[in-house]
């Protein structure tokens, strides 16, 4: 059940990659070849079934002429969401604490 929740919820970056790729009429295999991974990995990233590495996100952003900061923000949001999805009752408080520390 947890993996289904992650697949459904963690897809901000994947959706953005798919939208950019399709707007440019690029195939999954073209993006995969450019960042030197297999096509299945790009497909899984787009569907939210796998998380890309930070370097992969940067490489994909460059290849798709996307805003690198936006792509990294979506990547980090997905990582945070996948970490807290199993603890919804305490997630809000944890985010408040983390936000306070980041502001310092």
* Residue ranges in the chain assigned as alpha helix (H): 2-9, 12-23, 28-35, 39-47, 54-63, 68-84, 88-103
For the whole model, what pTM was predicted?
A: 0.79
Query: In the structure, what pLDDT confidence band is assigned to residue 9 with cuts at 50, 70 and 90?
Result: very low
The 10s digit of each residue's pLDDT in 35-61 is 999 999 999 999 999 999 999 999 999
> How far apart, in whole angstroms, are the C-alpha atoms of residue 26 and residue 91?
37
Q: Chain-centre distance of CA 81, in angstroms?
A: 10
> How far apart, in whole angstroms, are the C-alpha atoms of residue 94 and residue 92?
5
Domain locations in the chain as residue ranges: 2-103
In sequence order, what are the residues at sequence separation of 6 or more whose Cβ sits closer than 8 angstroms to the Cβ of residue 47?
7, 11, 14
Class of domain 2-103: mainly alpha
Among 32, 10, 12, 11, CA closest to 21: 32
Q: What is the 3-state secondary structure (H, E, C) of 51-72?
A: CCCHHHHHHHHHHCCCCHHHHH
């Amino acid at each position: 059940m947890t993996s289904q929740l992650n697949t459904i919820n963690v897809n901000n970056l994947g959706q953005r990659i798919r939208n950019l790729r399709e707007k440019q009429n690029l195939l999954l295999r073209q993006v995969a070849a450019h960042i030197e991974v297999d096509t299945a990995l790009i497909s899984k990233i787009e569907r939210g079934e796998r998380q890309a590495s930070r370097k992969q996100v940067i490489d994909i952003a460059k290849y798709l002429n996307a805003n690198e900061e936006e792509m990294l923000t979506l990547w980090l949001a997905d990582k945070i969401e996948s970490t807290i999805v199993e603890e919804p009752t305490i997630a809000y408080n944890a985010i408040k604490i983390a936000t306070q520390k980041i502001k310092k």
